[in-house]
Chains A and B, each alone.
Chain A
Amino acid sequence: MNRLESIAILLAAWLAVAFEITFNGFRSTLGAQFSLLPALMVYVALSSSLPTMAMLAVVGGLMQDAFSANPLGVTTLALSLTGFMLHRQRDLVLRDQLYAQVMTGFLASSLVPACVMVVLMNTHHPVPLSWRLLGQWLVMAAGGALVTPLVFRLFAQVKQLFAYQPVPESHYSETRQIKRTRF
């Protein structure tokens, strides 16, 4: 399941980036595009291993930066930082609870763009801060918060699909022997 899960996560990252670069609906209506990679990173950080998380940060970050004017590697750093922070606290997060998923999704989706902005401020590609950017940041965070529970449910379905089916319980039980007695 581990290898299969890694492949599923990579495929999900590909689909997430494909959605972001081709679907323009949110940008037209809400003025900002959601990023699905932070939501995916929340799931991976809370449910999967560290190498899988590193793989998602590298592959997902590079794929996203390839279509962006961001310097290559900046999203990788932001995703990995967010992922490691969540991974370190994973024992304290009730990851099966809906509100925990929403809150971690909100946190990750606001932290990733913030980290990217901090890095951009220190490169030769500074982005001017504006109220519009703040609004977009909030939309991204809210979008990530809504998407994260869906990611958890999707991967629960995938796990269920590929995991071994539980063996049906036998009706035979040793304690149910008929003990023959004299009477």
Chain B
Amino acid sequence: MLRKSQYIALGFVALVGLIFLSLPESTTNRVKLALTGLFLPLFGLTEATQSAARRTGNAIVPREDLVRELEQLRAEKQKLEFNLAQAQGALRENEQLRQHAGLPARVPWQLKPARVIARDPANWWRTVFIDVGSRDGVRADMPVIAPDGLVGRVAAVGSTRSQVVLLGDQNCRVAALVKETAENGIIMPYAADPAVVTLTYLSRGSPVKGGQTIVTSGLELKPGNAVLTSGLGGVFPSGIRIGEIVDVRNVGFGLYQEARVKLAVNLNSLDRVWVVVQ
């Protein structure tokens, strides 16, 4: 039989757990972010260790390798300068055309670089913590990207840290479209593989026009088609790369299609990300 002190201890722990479980989500997020402050020395230590390792690595790289890399980077820079000049020309042209068409001008993205400092210890969630917060202009629901494509969105914001929900988590649904066919769908998690997501609620055929019948073959989507954010929903801007289609199948008794999409970003090896702050 349990003694009185044991009952008290058991009751105390159960009470603490239940109190925290019944708190509203905004309060819970604030408490969570405050608790992460206990690990500030760890984050500082990790950063210091990484920079020391980088410095040591830089010190032992042979000079020939550095010179070779420098030459490669110079050549790449020249190539990128040509691309930039081309892109700027296209941008100017796009702005002029938008002006003529009476469309509002596109707002360029403002990116805030961030470092991934912690990962979700639970295997069934896919979240990470980054080292920027409200002090750096980060707000909830801002998109987070990497050079290869979309990473996720900011879920909770502290003053110096934020929690990011990654693509493939069930709390991160994204309105997406297939670049080649302009089919719209929603990105949902795919339970069997963390590197894959499901693009669902895709229509079975091409859009119906006057005098056309619905194409029911469902073969318009092909493996390798690019999947981008559609901009619908207001959270993610349009045109961010999500991944490419692996395969397509009919679901919902043939009412719509579902495609498996291989993510463009390797979410397991995330280190540096960018928050789209505007």
Contact = CB atoms under 8 A, between A and B. Distances in A.
Interface of B: 2, 5-6, 9-10, 12-14, 16-21, 23, 28, 31-33, 35-36, 38-39, 42, 46, 118-125, 127, 129, 155, 163, 165, 169-171, 189, 191-194, 268-269
Given A21-B120, A21-B121, A69-B120, 11 more contacts: A17-B121, A20-B121, A21-B39, A22-B118, A22-B119, A32-B123, A54-B12, A67-B129, A68-B121, A80-B10, A127-B170
Interface residues of A, number: 52
A54 B39 contact: no
Contacts of A65: 20, 32
B119 A27 contact: yes
Interface stretch (A90-98, A102-110, A128-136, A171-179): A128-136
A56 B121 CA distance: 17
B10 A128 contact: no
Interface string A10-28: 0000100110111010011
A53 B35 contact: no
Contacts of B193: 132
Nearest to A76: B17
A127 B124 contact: yes
A57 interface: yes
B260 to A, nearest CB: 14
A51 B7 CA distance: 11
Of B9, B120, B121, B124, most buried by chain A (CB within 10 Å of CB) is B121
A7 B155 CA distance: 34
